[in-house]
A and B are shown apart, each in its own frame.
Chain A
Amino acid sequence: MAMAIEATEPDKTAAPPIIDTEDVHLWYGSNEALKGINLTFKEHEITALIGPSGCGKSTYLRTLNRMNDLIPGVTIKGEVKLKGKDIYAPGNDTVSLRKEVGMVFQQPNPFPFSIYDNVTYGLRLGKQHTREQLDEAVETALRQAAVWEEVKDKLHDSALGLSGGQQQRVCIARVLAVKPDVVLLDEPTSALDPISSSQIESMLVALKKDYTIILVTHNMSQASRISDRTAFFLQGHLVEYDDTKTIFLNPHKKETEDYISGRFG
């Protein structure tokens, strides 16, 4: 199934690749969850990773900022290059990697501190900032995450008092404040109501001009609405990767078509 992916890969040369993964394999113990993934991500695009549960899309996403390192018994092979540098090369620092490749999770997971502290956490620990710089960073990040208007009068209240959708946007702001190049989102709206989801979707589209966004989603229409490219995963293989339009209107593989049209998954 993994063959001939190159043939379907779109040959856009407009933007340089920011992440380039080659033949990525991942095992949980002896169970091979990723069976050789080749994918390239271009700057300032939204890429959606879709596929049925257990297909490896979330696992793959987590290899891009080495979050799988936290799970005992995981073995990874292959190359993941961020701006040309192998992030798994020995001696590479996961801390600085994750400052460049931020991540938003499925369940909103704000720290149980104030909204302000949530957004400044990643920053304050990095280096010294003046109060004004922090204030400005908080406002910028919360504006980018389209939640500023809702929380600007209660920045020093606990983030836990917010609704799920607001919490998730604060979590996104928290990542943006660190100014990463790439933002990974693992089903960021699956725990949210439709209105919150659509707020996050339009925010992501607006963020595209400053960030590269890679998004795992179970929601087909979400993928088709906001992404530039879509990668379809199945049982640890990358089945098809193309412009989102092509994937949804004119897929080359039968499995893709079956999945898109809801015949399985």
Chain B
Amino acid sequence: MNAKRSDKIATGVLYAMSGIIVLILALLLFYILANGLPHISWHFLTAPAQSFEKGGGIGVQLFNSFYLLILSMVISTPISIWAGIYLSEYAKPNRLTNIIRTSIEILSSLPSVVVGLFGFLVFAVQAGFGFSILSGALALTVFNLPLLTRNVEDSLRSVAFTQREAGLALGLSRWETVIHVILPEALPGIITGMILSAGRVFGEAAALIYTAGQSAPTLDFTNWNPFYIASPLNPMRPAETLAVHIWKINSEGIIPDAAAVSAGASAVLIIAVLLFNILARLIGNKVYKRLTGV
């Protein structure tokens, strides 16, 4: 077989494989959206869920998903940035660093249901937070932190070494070089990674079942005092999220329109994750343009 021919075959195989992936994704999206979109309405998106009758919505669950997401990002973003900076810029290549890196890798490959059980034992039981948004957000942090840290570290590392030399040769300290030269250059990558991981967190169910709980008490959207028990902002209340809701009504739901609610909720979930992905690209590009002026 000559080189030209094998090149053609290889190209053909590559096209076929990528085609299959795109096809599977498209079918999946089409199926979920075709089933779910007809059930989505303003009422569906805002009304509280029903326990026994049909006609319930996902309003509370949707709010819970976003609130939990924001809370867990607020906790994990600063930690991951500090840890990423340490690993990329300061850590010397020695045993301690190796142990930290290995731990992060192991942590990132933990099944999320294990993270959920860990969260249940530590945050819900030991720390006494119970089934609450706080427990859920902390479990999501455990779940998300390794990947975020890795993302920050990789983004920082992808900045050329010559940039560090340039900064230091100007008489900037290492910290100034990191903060004013390296971090801004890495920021688009970091933000993209953050938003993508937000999508992952948004769709997470297993880590939340035993931490944020499976019930969504009706919220009083007129009282935003975080200490009021029915307040949407109260971090100590149980909070079933959208993904947990889908799991629950499919496994033990007794509402007559369970299939429809599940299909609609799945479509909403998928749309939200898609939006996160598109947003990740747009914001990443925009930040890069803004910083570099290219």
Contacts and interface: CB of A to CB of B under 8 A. Distances in A.
Interface of A: 65, 67, 70, 72, 94-100, 102-103, 105, 107, 109-114, 121-122, 125-126, 156-158, 160-161, 171, 174-175, 178, 180
Interface in B165-190: 165-173, 176, 180-181, 184-185
Interface residues of B, number: 24
22 contacts: A67-B168, A70-B165, A72-B92, A72-B93, A94-B168, A95-B173, A98-B170, A98-B171, A103-B165, A105-B166, A105-B169, A110-B166, A111-B181, A113-B291, A113-B292, A114-B293, A121-B167, A121-B180, A126-B171, A158-B294, A160-B294, A180-B171
Nearest to A97: B171
Contacts of A180: 171
Contacts of A109: 160, 162-163, 165-166
Nearest to A65: B169
Given A103-B169, A175-B170, 15 more contacts: A70-B164, A95-B171, A98-B170, A102-B169, A105-B165, A109-B165, A111-B166, A114-B293, A121-B170, A158-B292, A158-B293, A160-B292, A160-B294, A171-B166, A178-B171
Contacts of B184: 113
A77 to B, nearest CB: 22
Contact of A122 (B93, B163, B165, B172): B172
B171 A122 contact: yes
Nearest to B160: A109
B159 to A, nearest CB: 9
A188 to B, nearest CB: 13
B169 A112 contact: no
Contacts of A157: 293
Interface in B7-23: none
A165 to B, nearest CB: 17
Interface string B84-122: 000000001100000000000000000000000000000
B169 A67 contact: yes
Q: Which 7 A-B pairs have the closest CB atoms?
A: A99-B171, A122-B170, A158-B293, A103-B169, A112-B292, A109-B162, A98-B171
A198 to B, nearest CB: 24
Contact of B291 (A100, A110, A112): A112
A111 B185 CA distance: 8
Contact of A113 (B160, B165, B170, B293): B293
A163 B203 CA distance: 46
Contacts of A156: 293
Contacts of B172: 95, 121-122, 125
A95 B180 CA distance: 15
